[in-house]
Structure 1
Amino acid sequence: MRDGGRIAAAIEVLTEINERRRPVQEALKDWGNKHRFAGSGDRVAIGNLVFDALRHKLSHAQAMGSDSARALVLATYIWGWGNQVEKLQQVMEEDRHAPEPLSEAEGEALLQNKPVDDGNQISANIPEWLWPHFQDNFGDEALAVGRSLSERAPIDMRVNTLKSSQEKVLKRLSHLRAEVSGLSPVGVRLEPVVGPRKSPHVQAEETFRKGWFELQDEASQIASILSGAQPGEQVLDLCAGGGGKSLALAAQMQNKGQIYAYDAHKIRLAPLYERMARAGVRNIQTIDPQTGSLDICNGKMDRVFVDAPCSGTGVWRRRPDTKWRVTENALNGRIEEQAQVLETATRFVRSGGKLIYATCSLIPAENQLQVKAFLEKHSDFKLVDLAPVWDEHFGVVESRKPLFKDGGTVTLTPHHTGTDGFFIAMMERV
């Protein structure tokens, strides 16, 4: 396929997403199944157009004077990918699979490239109903945070220190231009690709198959490090999901002690077994939510890690379609779930033990306010100031400094720390 056909396909997919509120991956998969002649490069380019259009949906729509799928894709092709309007006009004239030629209004808007600088939610590409939450959390920096969440994300990897080292992984991935991620001492990063290019498939690397590294955003790596888990401890990963943090904690604990991995949804734990084998991890015990019991953990855990279900506002760089699908009812439901899982977690924390609460959200109601409500209800827990813990592990790097709020909780954002958006708090049972 040439660019004209790719643009037309992206418009078709984005129209399907907008009109039927379908997840982007589902819509792209269906398009691919119906158009099997499209090669892998075509599918990547079409997907990139769709994702980038969703990332800048509001600002592109305002500048184009239209929020149609066509307007968003055309704006992405020109402004997002750095192509000239003349090239687009030529593509539309020469490719019979291209969409209709540019209208006079479209051509004028694309040539003007009028910047959207309202200093508000449109410039930030944040849904209007969510904008006050970002203003409450970040004040004058809300716009910068929103813009950083509208960019592409890098590929972050965590070096598995049970099998390798950061230096070795960097050397073996030098052909991909891998770099240290900057904050995590076990982090390796590939900068995001641009335009229609395909991101490297790092899971195909021999070093991945050998278990030398795992895919894990640096923010998640940082959360594991800040938990302070030590070799020999008893740790419960209460919302383990696919086990990314369990694996990070296992390496941090040098395969010593015991990690109990649990998730209320059994299917989410399924990938962990293969990942444990590849990583050489021996100190994780999974607990089946249908047949197993958490009673073995009652009052015995040195640390309980709660990576709570949340709105996912911190990972919009990777999942831009969720930005436009999240609803206020869904957010309220998540807030209730978070309170419930925190309440459940209390029974497992021993005296002097730590309860770590984390989300990939940047909404105060899911983060600081959730912790405040918990502490008001549980006088036997106190908040631990994570600021000195941060300095101990990551030093004082002003250019990548997180926000410390309300007595020492940590908020990470692409703008402040170059990571996904993440919130971390630690409470100690006294």
Structure 2
Amino acid sequence: MVEPSSPLDAFQAQTPAQKRALSYSNTIHQLFTSVMQEKLPADRIVGEYFRTNKKHGSKDRRVIRESLFALFRWWGWLKQVHTSQQQDASWFACLAMVAELESHKWTQFSEAWQEFANQSEQFKLSASKSTLDSVTDKCAYLQQQLQMPSLVTTQLLPDWFWQVTDVDNTQQLAIVEAMSSRPPIWARAQTLSQQQLINSLAKDDVEATASEFFDDALSLGFKSINLNAISAYQRGELEIQDLGSQVIGQICAPKAEQHWWDTCSGAGGKTLQLRSLMLRQNSKADGSIISSDIRRKPLEELTKRAKRAGFSGINVAPWKSEALPVDANTFDGVLVDAPCSCTGTWRRNPDMRWLDDVNVVTDKHDLQLDILTRSAKAVKAQGQLVYATCSLSPVENEQVVNAFLNANPEFELRTLTHPFKGTQVEMLTIWPQDANSDGMFVAKMIKR
């Protein structure tokens, strides 16, 4: 008997839907393998693939992209099923399962994947007879379909995540539930009122919902949006910024006449938010913001975004060495949005939970403390120092702040109000389940 030349040769397409399903499977497998082997963000891999492969229409891209990211979302379970690197029956089972778990609409392809999987005696897959609303429902469905009672909800996040976070057992399911769902696209009204922006977006057939928490925040739902086709974005009236990220600017609460330094600004999302908050108090606010980063390209992007919004009062000062790129003892407020593991953004980047290991958390503490310590020198007396990350680990958060305070007694913590719960805390962690956002951490200190 002649062996098939490739694993796919064992699966013969009998219908046009099966043929397309095989083609999609091949592309998704290629992308999945590239992400796992090259350890590069899936967004980057997918974006480059679509740029060089123009043959795919919008429907093709949606099937490929959403199936790929769904695989990463549920990989904590699926990796126990697909233990090879081949496109075999177990691979088709994974594709069929994620389509079922996420209620994908391309049933003709998911049914084809299911049929291919069922060619193996290992699988006898069938569609769910009830709606799979929760992670618990989905776990029970897979346990039954795959005859794997060992599947548990906490496996959807890597073991090391639970080791470096301070999570009560009663909260584990809520975190897994949030991390296993897609967050909405959060936006911020930059130069308009919340309602003005909602009205403007409606003219471009974009439905927006006002946030109950911040008067400049709104949700754009879950559908992909071509920002360049939105008039409000072209005019700088709209910025895409997750609600969790917006908490940071709200905690900073800059006054119109104050001078702030954004020490690790990247492309300037929080810089623009700080300036917008200043101008909402006074349209002629004479305060200013200096933004710094070690990378020049993000600062160039910030300059473009500020120009698009018509914002003055924003300047850039790149880090060129360990010396401060600004004057010491000068600023009313200094924001240190430190580089971190980004575990709080795993909802948007589910691949990263499987590409990283515990070192992505434990290796950054010293760097974060160093950046915070150096940046603090720019705070003037009675000025504010705000430390933030998009990490959920105390190693990068509370431990860094406490180490800084022990070495710098002239700074003291300020009590914060949780924007979504109303509770009083010394240091604030926003969990993804708190308000359907990314996870964030922030602490505010005052220089005595």
Query: What's 2:7 paired with?
Result: none
CA contact (8 A) 1:11 1:73 kept: no
Question: What is the CA–CA distance in structure 1 between the aligned matches of 2:45 and 2:141, rounded to whole Å?
Answer: 29
Query: What's 1:410 paired with?
Result: 428
Query: What's 1:401 paired with?
Result: 421
Query: What's 2:342 paired with?
Result: 312
2:103 counterpart of 1:81 = yes
Query: What's 1:23 paired with?
Result: 41
Measured at CA, do residues 85 and 257 of structure 1 come closer, stay the same or move farther in structure 2, by a change above 3 Å? closer
- Within 5 A, what are the aligned runs for 1:14-413? 14-32=32-50, 35-62=53-80, 64=81, 69-82=91-104, 88-90=110-112, 102-108=119-125, 113-114=141-142, 121-122=154-155, 125-134=156-165, 136-160=166-190, 163-174=191-202, 175-193=205-223, 199-254=224-279, 255-290=285-320, 294=324, 296-387=326-417, 390=418, 394=419, 400-401=420-421, 405=425, 408-413=426-431
State the 1:422 CA deviation: 0.3
Question: In the TM superposition, what whole-angstrom CA distance separates every residue of 1:47-100 from its partner, at most 9, and x where no partner exists?
Answer: 1111111012113445x575865443221112222569887345777xxxxx77
State the 1:37 CA deviation: 1.9
Question: In the TM superposition, what whole-angstrom CA distance separates every residue of 1:113-142 from its partner, at most 9, and x where no partner exists?
Answer: 2357966521xx1111122223x2444212
Question: In the TM superposition, what whole-angstrom CA distance separates every residue of 1:355-403 from its partner, at most 9, and x where no partner exists?
Answer: 000000101111111111111111111110002xx5xxx5xxxxx4277
Question: What SS does structure 2 have at the residue aligned with 1:236?
Answer: strand
Bigger mean CA deviation after superposition, 417-426 or 71-80: 71-80
Question: In the TM superposition, what whole-angstrom CA distance separates every residue of 1:211-249 from its partner, at most 9, and x where no partner exists?
Answer: 111111111112101112101101000001001111110
Question: In the TM superposition, what whole-angstrom CA distance separates every residue of 1:17-65 from its partner, at most 9, and x where no partner exists?
Answer: 2344343134324543664322233123201111111012113445x57
Bigger mean CA deviation after superposition, 216-225 or 176-185: 176-185
CA contact (8 A) 1:287 1:293 kept: no
Amino acid paired to 1:277? K
Question: What is the CA–CA distance in structure 1 between the aligned matches of 2:256 and 2:150, rounded to whole Å?
Answer: 51
Question: What is the CA–CA distance in structure 2 between the aligned matches of 1:247 and 1:130, rounded to whole Å?
Answer: 32
Q: TM-score, normalised by structure 1?
A: 0.85
Question: In the TM superposition, what whole-angstrom CA distance separates every residue of 1:149-189 from its partner, at most 9, and x where no partner exists?
Answer: 221121111101xx311101111223222101332210111
Question: What is the CA–CA distance in structure 1 between the aligned matches of 2:126 and 2:29, rounded to whole Å?
Answer: 18
Question: What is the CA–CA distance in structure 2 between the aligned matches of 1:427 and 1:69, rounded to whole Å?
Answer: 51
Question: What SS does structure 2 have at the residue aligned with 1:353?
Answer: strand
CA contact (8 A) 2:92 2:114 kept: no
Measured at CA, do residues 324 and 212 of structure 1 come closer, stay the same or move farther in structure 2, by a change above 3 Å? same
Query: What's 1:196 paired with?
Result: none
Amino acid paired to 1:121? T
Count of residue correspondences: 402
Question: What is the CA–CA distance in structure 2 between the aligned matches of 1:188 and 1:284, rounded to whole Å?
Answer: 25
CA contact (8 A) 1:137 1:364 kept: no
State the 1:293 CA deviation: 7.5
State the 1:192 CA deviation: 1.6
Measured at CA, do residues 65 and 15 of structure 1 come closer, stay the same or move farther in structure 2, by a change above 3 Å? closer
CA contact (8 A) 2:77 2:151 kept: no
Question: What is the CA–CA distance in structure 1 between the aligned matches of 2:119 and 2:314, rounded to whole Å?
Answer: 58
Amino acid paired to 2:385? L
Question: In the TM superposition, what whole-angstrom CA distance separates every residue of 1:229-270 from its partner, at most 9, and x where no partner exists?
Answer: 101101000001001111110111114311111112222212
Question: What is the CA–CA distance in structure 2 between the aligned matches of 1:37 and 1:118, rounded to whole Å?
Answer: 39
Bigger mean CA deviation after superposition, 276-285 or 319-328: 319-328
State the 1:427 CA deviation: 0.8
Measured at CA, do residues 294 and 16 of structure 1 come closer, stay the same or move farther in structure 2, by a change above 3 Å? closer
Query: What's 1:96 paired with?
Result: none
CA contact (8 A) 1:149 1:314 kept: no
Question: What SS does structure 1 have at the residue aligned with 2:192?
Answer: coil
Question: What is the CA–CA distance in structure 1 between the aligned matches of 2:368 and 2:112, rounded to whole Å?
Answer: 53
Which of structures 1 and 2 has the bigger CA Rg?
2
Question: What is the CA–CA distance in structure 1 between the aligned matches of 2:230 and 2:106, rounded to whole Å?
Answer: 36
Question: What SS does structure 2 have at the residue aligned with 1:366?
Answer: coil
Q: Where do 5+ consecutive residues of structure 2 fail to align?
A: 1-15, 85-89, 129-139, 144-148, 280-284
